[in-house]
């Protein structure tokens, strides 16, 4: 037993010594020019950007967003005994944002919520028909009491 303890302690010390071989990097090691690494940043290609855009607007992504909304609703039902009151404004805004993202493709919308259940939607959508869908979609989220649409259609 003593040999096992001695072996364990010596292995911990050896590991600690090996881990301390790399000195800590301090601000003295930092480059003087803050823009030195800017030139090394690579912008994505047009193909990868288009692929990411298509993925964001795919049916799979919409299904994921809707599943996320349902999960949040279930958590709220458990936490608040099914009541739509006492909703966190950030959570409410996030759910509305997900709902709009899932159902309004190519929209550039931002959503802000308040403690009374009102949400304000700003930004742009490609078509006027999509603009008309914002309020009904937002009101599908439990806890939304009022929707202020300050978005515009680019059509």
> What domains lie within the chain, and their CATH numbers?
58-155 (3.30.1340.30)
Contact predicate 137/104, CB 8 Å: yes
The contacts of residue 148 (CB under 8 Å, 6+ apart) are 118, 119, 120, 121
The residue assigned the tokens 């301090």 is 26
Question: Which has the closest alpha carbon to 141: 78, 79, 81, 68?
Answer: 68
d(CA 104, CA 121): 13
d(CA 137, CA 63): 15
Residue-level pLDDT at 86: 67
Q: What is the pLDDT along the chain (155 residues), one digit of tens a residue?
A: 778 888 888 888 877 776 666 665 565 555 566 555 555 556 677 777 677 667 667 788 888 888 888 888 788 778 777 666 667 788 888 889 888 888 888 888 999 998 888 999 999 998 899 999 999 999 988 888 999 999 998 87
The contacts of residue 95 (CB under 8 Å, 6+ apart) are 69, 72, 73, 141
d(CA 5, CA 2): 5
For the record, the structure tokens of 143 come out as: 């806890």
pTM beyond 0.75: the answer is: no
Side-chain-side CA neighbours of residue 8 (13 Å): 5
For the record, the structure tokens of 34 come out as: 């803050």
Question: Which has the closest alpha carbon to 113: 103, 100, 126?
Answer: 100
Residue-level pLDDT at 64: 84
d(CA 144, CA 114): 10
């Amino acid at each position: 037993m003593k040999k096992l303890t001695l072996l364990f302690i010596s292995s911990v010390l050896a590991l600690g010594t090996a881990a301390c071989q790399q000195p800590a990097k301090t601000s003295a090691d930092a480059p003087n020019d803050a823009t030195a690494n800017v030139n090394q940043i690579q912008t994505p290609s047009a193909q990868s950007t288009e692929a990411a855009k298509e993925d964001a607007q795919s049916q799979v992504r919409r299904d994921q967003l809707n599943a996320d909304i349902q999960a949040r609703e279930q958590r709220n039902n458990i936490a608040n005994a099914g009541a739509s009151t006492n909703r966190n404004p950030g959570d409410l805004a996030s759910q509305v944002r997900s709902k709009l993202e899932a159902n309004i493709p190519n929209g550039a919308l931002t959503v802000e919520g308040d403690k009374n259940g009102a949400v304000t939607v700003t930004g742009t959508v490609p078509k006027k028909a999509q603009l008309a869908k914002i309020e009904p979609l937002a009101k599908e989220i439990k806890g939304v009491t009022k929707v202020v649409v300050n978005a515009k259609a680019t059509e």
